[in-house]
Structure 1
Amino acid sequence: MTTIIGSRDAVSTGSDLYSPAKEKAATRGVYSSRSPFLLRRIRILLGSVKVKLLLSLCIVFALVFFASRIGSLMGWNPHYPSSASSLSRGGYTVLINTWKRNSLLKQAVAHYASCNGADAIHVVWSESDPPSDSLKAYLRNIVSSKSQSAHKPNFRFDLNKEDNLNNRFKPIEDLRTDAIFSVDDDVIVPCSTLDFAFIVWQSAPSTMVGFVPRMHWLDVEKNGVPYYQYGGWWSVWWMGTYSMVLSKAAFFHRMYLDLYTYKMPSSIHDYVTRERNCEDIAMSLLVANATGAPPIWVKGKIYEIGSSGISSLQGHSNRRNKCLNDFISLYGAMPLVSTNVKAVDARQKWFW
């Protein structure tokens, strides 16, 4: 303050030349001495507002997140709304493979009948005795009652005289759709997830699109002959790559039913019949050999409602390794193509 008063005295007495610039600089000095305190107060206020805003946003996001997840925490909701009613190409045909598990078959048929994208439901029946009239009547009534659209899915059994895993890929007459969704009787895919996979398949209808990825890799090579390993889910998780999707829950084009039955080497048919295993590997090799492209893995929660199958039996991995290498020797080359692409529904993700 002393300096400021002195400058004013100099102006009033004329002892020094008057300078407007000096007076403005001197006056500015008054506020410059106060400005750090004002800026500090403003920063503190703004900081507290930011913290409160961030906390509020975090609470809101947490509430929305838990609200969206509460359904999945409670378990599978078989009647989750389906959006496939507007999908093109006539929807898809659900092809259910079953074997002496009528209770599971009833659950599977009831669920897939509720999916609006299902144009037809076919049950591959390979038991020695045909389905009973009561079972057929029950399932027809279920399809009619569970369907949520005006167009009721066409339902029927595809009967086979012998028990053979090749039966699940026999051509079907009078199909109205190009898309086949092949599924086991103990696998449930929510309708919304199934509809999304169908959309993905429409973008690449010549390949397989499914929910159960598997992989292969070159293990050793002896005397110029390569030996490959078959990798299950944990191998896919660890390596981040895959080259097959299993037909226990996968879309493919109807033309592959004809190719599998009439064009694939009969030696592979005989192998599947004899070993009662690996028809899914055979189909993956067939599609890869025809397209030269990898399959597409769709990320989505699926539910296995039955007891453990043949994959839980001792020696299953060794049998799958043997199947893979025997099939490759019959093809004379390795047709499988590896990829790390995964289809994800961005509507179900916070960040993408």
Structure 2
Amino acid sequence: MRGSLAINRRTVFKLRQIGIATLGSVKIKILLCGCVALTLLAVANRNRDGSSSLWGWTSDVASLDRSSSPRNGRQVELIFDINKEDSLNNRFKEIKDLETDAVFSIDDDVIFPCSSIEFAFTVWQSAPDTMVGYVPRMHWVDETKGKDKYGYGGWWSVWWTGTYSMVLSKAAFFHKKYLKLYTDEMPASIKEYITRNRNCEDIAMSFLVANATGAPPIWVKGKIFEIGSTGISSLGGHSERRTQCLNKFVAEFGRMPLVSTSLKAVDSRNVWFW
């Protein structure tokens, strides 16, 4: 796996800042997707197993279907999925005729070095039934409300306790079979809740995978850069809404499927002591 990219992360970040100052919101979204596209194409150039990239899009922008860019004598296929319905469930729609088992789910405001995604992919290959990602979150039993009530913990809760039970799909690998499972078997009431509240599709996917495996996810150490500042998580009351999601999903699943762990995967080639 070797390769290079002429545009580095600092350049992409600078372009995005210029875009914020000069462009409308729709064009900012296009520029953000362009930044992520450059990074993923770099990964594809380094990794011969990367065959295609699908972009979920919900907007009034004119449709784009498929395009490809030749590299090393073969094509890298880009597929744009234009969604008419504005729903976060679109993120996990089943992808027909997907050639690879691995799916890398990423938000459009996340930038990362190629080395980080390559290491995460090797970790996922060792445990392909679980989710492998960079952004851990946790849950706990809220004893003040009873043994069947739970609270949602963000990054600082993970840092304080050293445990987690979810990795967010904003930057995570999982098996393609979970897209079909989400599409066909996720309770309609949960999908409707996600569409109505515009939140928690990532928690729902964590529930689905944990319910299928009975195992925790794997948190991978890696550099990722979140360059967005106006996402859902920046809104007031975010943790409270996520807690409501947890308890709603527990009621629908009939139990709490999430499994806590303290495991963290670290690339020993990049640390002095391990």
Return the TM-score normalized by structure 2. 0.85
The answer on 1:114 being equivalent to 2:35 is no
Could you list the runs of 5+ residues in structure 1 that have no partner in the other structure?
1-74, 80-97
Match of 2:159 among 217, 224, 237: 237
2:9 touches 2:111 (CA, 8 Å); kept in 1?
no
The answer on 1:181 being equivalent to 2:137 is no
For the structure 1 residues 291 and 281, does the alpha-carbon distance in structure 2 shift closer, same or farther, using more than 3 Å as the test?
same
Deviations 1:106-130 (A, max 9, x none): 1110111011233211110122443
Which letter maps to 2:100?
Answer: T
Shift of 1:163: 0.6
For the structure 1 residues 100 and 170, does the alpha-carbon distance in structure 2 shift closer, same or farther, using more than 3 Å as the test?
farther
The residue that corresponds to 1:261 in the other structure is 183
If each structure's helix is expressed as a fraction of its own residues, which one has the higher value? 1
Compare CA radii of gyration and give the structure with the larger one. Answer: 1
Map 1:95-134; keep pairs closer than 5 Å: 101-115=29-43, 116-117=46-47, 118-131=50-63
The residue that corresponds to 1:293 in the other structure is 215
Match of 1:338 among 247, 260, 264: 260
2:208 and 2:144 map into 1 onto residues whose CA distance is 24
- Aligned residue pairs total 250
The residue that corresponds to 2:205 in the other structure is 283
Map 1:18-97; keep pairs closer than 5 Å: 76=9
1:120 touches 1:154 (CA, 8 Å); kept in 2?
yes
1:218 touches 1:226 (CA, 8 Å); kept in 2?
yes
1:317 and 1:197 map into 2 onto residues whose CA distance is 27
Return the TM-score normalized by structure 1. 0.67
Which letter maps to 1:311?
Answer: S
Query: Any idea what SS the aligned residue of 2:241 has?
Result: helix
Map 1:298-337; keep pairs closer than 5 Å: 298-337=220-259
The answer on 1:152 being equivalent to 2:75 is yes
2:10 and 2:270 map into 1 onto residues whose CA distance is 16
1:179 touches 1:253 (CA, 8 Å); kept in 2?
yes
For the structure 1 residues 282 and 109, does the alpha-carbon distance in structure 2 shift closer, same or farther, using more than 3 Å as the test?
same
Query: Any idea what SS the aligned residue of 2:246 has?
Result: helix
For the structure 1 residues 240 and 150, does the alpha-carbon distance in structure 2 shift closer, same or farther, using more than 3 Å as the test?
farther
Q: Percent identity of the aligned residues?
A: 59
1:229 and 1:197 map into 2 onto residues whose CA distance is 28
Q: Which has the higher contact order (CA 8 A, sep 6+)?
A: 2
1:76 touches 1:303 (CA, 8 Å); kept in 2?
no
Query: Any idea what SS the aligned residue of 1:176 has?
Result: coil
Question: Displaced runs of 4+ in structure 1, greater than 3 A?
Answer: 75-79, 128-131, 149-152
1:323 and 1:237 map into 2 onto residues whose CA distance is 22
For the structure 1 residues 350 and 77, does the alpha-carbon distance in structure 2 shift closer, same or farther, using more than 3 Å as the test?
farther
Query: Any idea what SS the aligned residue of 1:327 has?
Result: helix
